[in-house]
Structure 1
Amino acid sequence: MTSDEFDVIVIGGGPVGENAAGRTAAGGLRTALVEAELFGGECSYWACMPSKALLRPGHVLAAAKRMPGVPVGDRLDAAAVLERRTRFTSDWDDSGQVQWAEGAGIVPVRGRGVITGEREVTVGDRVLTARRAVVVATGSVPRVPSLPGLSDVPHWSSREATSAKEVPASLVVLGGGVVGVEMAQAWAVLGAEVTLVISQDRPLAKFEDFVGDLVADGLRADGVTIHTGAKASSVSEVDGGVELTLGDGTKVVAEHLLVATGREPATRDLGLEAFGIEAGKALPVDDTGRVSGVDWLYGCGDVTGRAPLTHQGKYAARAVGSAILADARDPEPWTVTVATADHAAVPQVVFTDPEVAFVGRTADQARAAGLTVKVVDLDIAVAGSSLHADGYKGKARMVVDEDKRTLVGVTFVGQDVAEMLHAATIAVVGEVTVDRLWHAVPAYPTISEVWLRLLESYGL
């Protein structure tokens, strides 16, 4: 065994771990970044980047079809789409990420890190000790349902779905969350026969109710068959693929099965049980990322279960790095050492067609939090949207805290609405009153005109 000493050891070399390590290294602390697979993590190779690379060409094709005068075909060049996806993953080669880490003053350590003592991490035959802190940023892993037959049948997780080398003839997707709907649409547009099986009455059930309805319309328009309110009862291997049996006896046969039924914090096999943390459960952290009861241990990203999104994990990682540098204890909210936005100002985009852009609380969540709310709903039907695409179809919702007259939630659904999300995020984080927001004049003719229509409908 060999040993080495650092100020900070970060376990998990994805975007979240990179941000935490980059922050402490930039602050002059000797920092190790430990990664068991590829530096760059899930987002770079199997999630955010490849999935959006698969989806974007379909969006462009759909947008072109909505614009008279633009010459366009009916199908994508699947081979070119897959090749471009592979370029975005650097063909699953992480040497560029390693070079970035070294250039940022971080020491990359390849191997599985296990916490074997106080401020001690063992990686293979190396024992690393941390003078300041150990940060866990190992992300999340797929949650596998207890479905009879599943363990005996080869199936896809999100990794296989984003890294497949060819378009499957047919695909059945189990799960109507973000991964399920995005991958169902991506592969359908690329030419697969896709069936989506969801247990709720609509996809994306955690969003405002109209979101799932509009996304379902978009999926069906691309040829996806949707079974709603459907429970999978068993799965088996058959000639040519897999057979999924639903609770009502319906059988769905496809070449591949994608199981997209959620994820859980990746806290297994890290040695955390010695510190009272149950394997597979989220790290209990405060807003600085410090683990409850363990003064030197921090967590950020999916592993905390707080806001399982790459951008939000990176935000929390920056707070963790700043907190370690400052040795922050009970700092004020909305300062750089705390992830205050995790509680009620989390933005999210679902990259389907139509897109979904959401920040803050849904109307139901706002009411459950005890707020007195007013909800304003509108179709997105302004000059900007009419110019943007023929037959533009979209909806917007604004949730207002009537006591403070501030926005606490905003949802947009429609083509290219993601680019309006940051304005909504600023309004929610900044607690901008509707009276002040009235003076933020939207440029004409853009889709952002919907802001004016929302405020007019509110009563201004």
Structure 2
Amino acid sequence: MADLDVDVVVIGAGPVGENVADRAHQQGLSAAVVEAGLVGGECSYYACIPSKALLRPVDLKAAVDRMPGVDAGPVDAAKVFERRDQFANPDDSGQADWLDGAGITLLRGRGRITGERAVAVEHADGTTTDVAARYVVVATGSVPTYPPVDGIADVDAWTNREVTQASHVPDSLLVLGGGVVGVEMATAYQRLGSRVTVVQHGERLVPGVEPEAARRLQASLEADGVDVRLGTSMTAVKRDGAEVVASLDDGTELRGAELLVAAGRRPGTADLGLDTVGLEPGKPLDADETTTVQGDWLYAVGDASTGAKLTHMGKYQARICGDVLVARSKGASVGGRYAKTATTTEQTAVPQVIFTDPQIAAVGHTEASAQQAGLHVRAVSYEIGNTAGGSLHADGYDGFATIVVDTDREVIVGATFVGQDVADMVHGATIAIVGEVPLARLWHAVPSFPTMSEVWLRLLETYGM
């Protein structure tokens, strides 16, 4: 006999897992969520929210510095950390209260699948709650990966958790990895007063974006004083007193007060009992467009699945999952407004913003990825600073927009915006791509003057409409 019998049990109470449980419960299913750490997950306390809280003040300072007649003064790091704590204080009582108010059962402890439709929750006091559920959803997120660097396990390196929750600015910071976490935290800490060095194995930063976007980001980081080392790797690290000493494969040596490991993440599926149902632990769960992994009872969403590793995409998957569970509980066909387009959206219309300076906001294909997908495309770009809105927004505005057009269908399949304050421009491109709006129709979407959105008109003119 199970201690708890519910329609849906979700392992992982981050924003993705919470959304599954809430969406299913709002439509009549009983739901429980299991969480071994903080309710609200990685995004709320150690990733999206605190990192943006650290970046916004230094971003605003840089923006003011570009505007004659305005003096922002120096950044007060202590006040930046204090404001960060208002958004990401690791106290999850508010999140737990929300679950309770929503009628969702919270089980604090480590959840493991013990068989089909069965989960055991091991609590901190040593007791266990056995849960029987019609549907089990894995929403356990991801954990940092450590590259094979000699000594890396012995130097108390920072991960995204330590760097976003730090209470001091180290005199110097070594960053291993030039992906999103690496470049965002390099931006924040260099401008808060640290001396930052980024070591990137690849030949450019954030390799998934358009090459020109990566080039301008690197130029901006270096202008701030960040030492960017491309095409090189750390081979060994050790502590020498208060410093971390890193040896590189080119024979040089770096020293820093702290080392941030930002070299990627892996699904948090290693200790879930997946082997009890014939699945391999530690791997991403292969979920289909309905988020189904196995039979009609096991589902996966967010970083634990094979989908895009972004909070907003995980929440999109969560909405699909909740609707699928409700449909199956009623014996109805699975589909509807989410499931029928999930695969297309995941493959061709994933938006992302990198909150560096310049910001990089992109959705869909780059020119290279579109060509690799076999599409016939033409990419056109335009300098945002050459629009009235861009030139008014900041003196010497440095940024550009690119659209990638499928020339067979005359629709946009990718867009990238680079520059100060471009983050919110990406959603217009997302709508155009998801809606497959023909360029001939998009021509009639008139941008307001004088705003940076005028770049849309200039892109269409450049393309030749």
| Partner residue in 1 for 2:313 | 312
- The 8 Å contact of residues 358 and 420 in structure 2, kept in 1 or not, is answered as yes
Deviations 1:397-455 (A, max 9, x none): 10001111100000010000111111000000000011111000000000000000000
From 141, 144, 161, the counterpart of 1:142: 144
> For residues 329 and 200 of structure 1, do their structure 2 counterparts lie closer, same or farther at Cα, with a shift above 3 Å needed?
farther
Report SS of the residue matched to 1:92.
coil
Backbone CA RMSD of aligned residues? 1.4
- The 8 Å contact of residues 9 and 34 in structure 1, kept in 2 or not, is answered as yes
1:322 aligns with 2:323: yes
Residue 368 of structure 1 and its aligned partner are, at CA, apart by 1.2
Residue 204 of structure 1 and its aligned partner are, at CA, apart by 0.7
Residue 335 of structure 1 and its aligned partner are, at CA, apart by 3.4
> For residues 231 and 329 of structure 1, do their structure 2 counterparts lie closer, same or farther at Cα, with a shift above 3 Å needed?
farther
Q: After superposition, where does 1:322-341 map in structure 2 within 5 Å?
A: 322-327=323-328, 331=334, 335=338, 339-340=342-343, 341=345
- The 8 Å contact of residues 383 and 400 in structure 2, kept in 1 or not, is answered as yes
- The 8 Å contact of residues 236 and 247 in structure 2, kept in 1 or not, is answered as yes
1:301 partner amino acid: G
2:91 partner amino acid: D
| Partner residue in 2 for 1:345 | 349
From 450, 458, 464, the counterpart of 1:459: 464
| Partner residue in 1 for 2:43 | 43
Partners of 2:234 and 2:282 in 1: CA distance:
24
- The 8 Å contact of residues 17 and 33 in structure 2, kept in 1 or not, is answered as yes
Report SS of the residue matched to 1:440.
coil
From 173, 181, 187, the counterpart of 1:185: 187
Residue 240 of structure 1 and its aligned partner are, at CA, apart by 1.9
Partners of 2:321 and 2:342 in 1: CA distance:
8
- The 8 Å contact of residues 331 and 338 in structure 1, kept in 2 or not, is answered as no
Given the two structures, how large is their TM-score scaled by the length of structure 1? 0.97
Report SS of the residue matched to 1:194.
strand
| Partner residue in 1 for 2:227 | 225
Residue 276 of structure 1 and its aligned partner are, at CA, apart by 2.7
| Partner residue in 2 for 1:53 | 53
Residue 338 of structure 1 and its aligned partner are, at CA, apart by 5.7
| Partner residue in 2 for 1:385 | 390
Runs of 4+ in 1 over 4 A off after TM superposition: 328-334
Partners of 1:339 and 1:84 in 2: CA distance:
37
From 105, 108, 114, the counterpart of 1:116: 114
Given the two structures, how large is their TM-score scaled by the length of structure 2? 0.96
1:219 partner amino acid: L
- Number of matched residues? 456
1:449 aligns with 2:454: yes
2:35 partner amino acid: E
Report SS of the residue matched to 1:370.
coil
Residue 294 of structure 1 and its aligned partner are, at CA, apart by 3.3
Deviations 1:363-391 (A, max 9, x none): 11111111110111222120000000001
Partners of 2:247 and 2:332 in 1: CA distance:
53
Report SS of the residue matched to 2:338.
coil
| Partner residue in 2 for 1:376 | 380
- The 8 Å contact of residues 199 and 230 in structure 1, kept in 2 or not, is answered as yes
Residue 220 of structure 1 and its aligned partner are, at CA, apart by 1.4
- The 8 Å contact of residues 184 and 194 in structure 1, kept in 2 or not, is answered as yes
Report SS of the residue matched to 1:113.
strand
Partners of 1:307 and 1:437 in 2: CA distance:
28
1:386 partner amino acid: S
Deviations 1:133-157 (A, max 9, x none): 0000000111111111112221001
Q: Which moved more, 1:358-367 or 1:214-223?
A: 214-223
| Partner residue in 1 for 2:125 | none
1:216 aligns with 2:214: no
Q: Give % identity.
A: 54
Q: After superposition, where does 1:13-412 map in structure 2 within 5 Å?
A: 13-73=13-73, 75-89=74-88, 91-124=89-122, 125-130=128-133, 132-291=134-293, 293-327=294-328, 331=334, 335=338, 339-340=342-343, 341-380=345-384, 381-412=386-417
- The 8 Å contact of residues 26 and 105 in structure 1, kept in 2 or not, is answered as no
Residue 219 of structure 1 and its aligned partner are, at CA, apart by 1.1
Residue 2 of structure 1 and its aligned partner are, at CA, apart by 6.6
Partners of 1:283 and 1:319 in 2: CA distance:
16
Report SS of the residue matched to 2:308.
coil
1:34 partner amino acid: V
1:425 aligns with 2:430: yes
Partners of 2:332 and 2:430 in 1: CA distance:
27
Partners of 2:260 and 2:213 in 1: CA distance:
23
> For residues 405 and 332 of structure 1, do their structure 2 counterparts lie closer, same or farther at Cα, with a shift above 3 Å needed?
farther
Residue 336 of structure 1 and its aligned partner are, at CA, apart by 5.2
Deviations 1:74-96 (A, max 9, x none): x200000000111101x210000
Deviations 1:258-298 (A, max 9, x none): 0100001111110012223222211011011000x433000
Deviations 1:231-269 (A, max 9, x none): 111111112221111101111100100010000111111
Report SS of the residue matched to 2:424.
helix
| Partner residue in 2 for 1:435 | 440
Partners of 1:242 and 1:71 in 2: CA distance:
37
